[in-house]
Amino acid sequence: MNRRTEKIIILITDFLTINISFIIYFILRIKTGWFDILILPEFSVPMIALYFYWLLVFTFVGMYRTWFASSRFDELTTLFKSTFVGIFVLFFLILLDDYTHNVNSESRILIFIYWGLFFFFVGGGRILIRSFQRSLIIKGIGRRNVIIVGFNPTANEVHDQILEHRALGLDAAAYAAVDKINLNKSYKGIEVRGTIKDLSSLIDIYNAKEVIIALEKDNRNLLVDVISECEPKNVGLKIVPNLYEILSGQARTAQIYGIPLIDIMPQLMPEWEKGLKRIIDVFVSLFILILTSPALIITALAIKIDSSGSVFFKQARCGIDGELFKMIKFRSMQQDAEKHSGPVWSTKNDPRITHIGKIIRKVRVDEIPQMINVLKGEMSLVGPRPERPYFVEMLSKEIPYYKRRLKVRPGITGWAQVKHKYDESIEDVKIKLRYDLFYIENMSLRMDFKILFRTIFVVLFAKGHYN
């Protein structure tokens, strides 16, 4: 079952169960018949409004993420917590409405009966669908191949657990050993098909979706090499931690039936924050475009008068997961500025910058058209600055983890932009990468607001740089 089909089934199931619970609740409250209530506006309008309300709540708490052999109990726990908060929001909205209209209604307490029905039907629908998915996985439909890195007792123990518990939905496809000594050795029919240097090709050959790293303590220095090999691939990375990491609290672990595993480079921002971040992006970018429209018209005319060429400058940049998009800016350089030089970084006093270009760069007006990219979902207000494909390939060869920047949506401003200066050398890029990685691993709305306020300071005092 692919991700799209799964989400469609879950959306349909939620639609049915949410509305069934409302129907039964409504029947119990007003004691009327099925056919009478279906045509009443006081029934149909609240039902539709409530459906979209719960759809929004479920989206924010991450209940429409792709499910793969995850715990059904955990899903019910998430459902309970989200509906618990959601029902109290509804209760206080009803209370506020009654207070505003001077109504003293005791029936508002019946909202908790609705909650019980809601949780029973929606939870039941979820369990039904997840149990069906689980049975398909056990029967061999929709399973995922795993590459186990390391060939040692710990790696073999992980392999044993994968074989014993088919409900995990994982199949060990191959081993990747530390060195060539173990090549062609096997454990329970699965052979060592290469070394860590071959990991990237092994992922492609076996269409692996998960990589479990089970290196011995003496080989932990190879972890960077393993992650670098997996970085360009769309695979889940997990590592078997040592006892010290578990006891010291340095590792946040999941488990394969008793074997602790650490997720390497997980997405740390909760789903509800991701949803809210996107909503903020849309509203703020639209507001800025409307607010600055007079300045944008004047800037466009000034650019046209100052130099020949187009008003806007569009350039291919790497977006989330490496997808290319055209970033839009006001043109601040001469037309075809890189015609003879090829791709190069701009410098602080670049001679290719036009007279108007110097002004609009200083006050950051040239960046405002990127709000169109934000509206389209190609960029965010806050994130690592998008880089050109040429430099992404060049830098990823020289700097480990550089492509980690592509795991999040690029931004108009970012932590690196408010903390560091122009990119004038590889060393500058390395420093900015540290700031970008810090942002990615600590993504939150609080962090975004902090960066936005610092950006205002940078713009007012003409510091920082955006390329």
Q: CA distances (Å), 459 to each of 89, 290, 345, 455, in order?
A: 39, 20, 21, 6
User: Given this model, what pLDDT does residue 422 score?
Assistant: 57
Q: Mark whether 133 and 148 lie in a shared domain.
A: no
Tens of pLDDT, residue by residue over 67-106, are 655 677 878 888 898 898 888 888 887 777 666 766 566 6
The answer to whether residues 318 and 443 belong to one domain is: yes
Domain membership of residue 467 (yes or no) is: no
**β-strand pairing of 144-149 with 312-318:** unpaired
Domain range for 184 is: 144-263
Residues 122 and 176 occupy one common structural domain: no
In this structure, are 161 and 310 located in the same domain? no
Query: How do 253-256 and 208-213 pair as beta strands?
Result: unpaired
* CATH code of residue 217: 3.40.50.720
Supply the pTM of this predicted model: 0.55
C-alpha–C-alpha distance, residues 450 and 129, integer Å: 41
- Asked if residue 235 and residue 148 are part of one domain, the reply reads yes
User: Do 372 and 292 share a structural domain?
Assistant: yes
79 and 165 both lie in a single domain: no
The parts of the chain modelled with pLDDT lower than 70 are 1-2, 28-43, 65-70, 97-99, 101-108, 220-221, 241-268, 336-351, 400, 420-426, 459-467
Quote the pLDDT of residue 247: 39
**Phi and psi, residue 414, nearest 5°:** -160, 175
Helical H segments across 31-100, by residue range: 34-37, 41-60, 72-100
Regarding whether 238 and 131 lie in a shared domain, the answer is no
Q: At residue 262, what are phi and psi to the nearest 5 degrees?
A: -100, 130
- Give the model confidence (pLDDT) of 177-207 as tens digits: 988 888 889 999 999 998 988 888 999 999 9
Give the per-residue pLDDT at 243: 44
β-strand pairing of 144-149 with 170-177: parallel
Give the CA radius of gyration of the chain: 27
Q: Kindly state whether residue 447 falls inside one of the protein's structural domains.
A: yes
Residue 10 lies in a domain: yes
Pairing of strands 380-382, 324-330: unpaired
- The answer to whether 406 touches 320, Cβ cutoff 8 Å, is yes
Please tell me the predicted confidence (pLDDT) of residue 318: 92
Contact criterion met (CB below 8 Å) for 306 and 330: no
Nearest to 24 by CA among 130, 115, 97, 133: 115
Amino acid letter, 433: L
279/239 same-domain check: no
Minimal CA–CA distance to 352: which of 372, 336, 374?
Answer: 336
Contact between 265 and 237 (Cβ < 8 Å)? yes
Please give the pLDDT value at position 249.
43
**CA distance to 35, 216, 220, 250, 312, per residue, from 243 (Å):** 63, 12, 14, 10, 57
**Number of structural domains the chain divides into:** 3
Residue 466 lies in a domain: no
Looking at the fold, whether 243 and 281 belong to one and the same domain comes out as: no
Residues 329 and 419 in one domain: yes
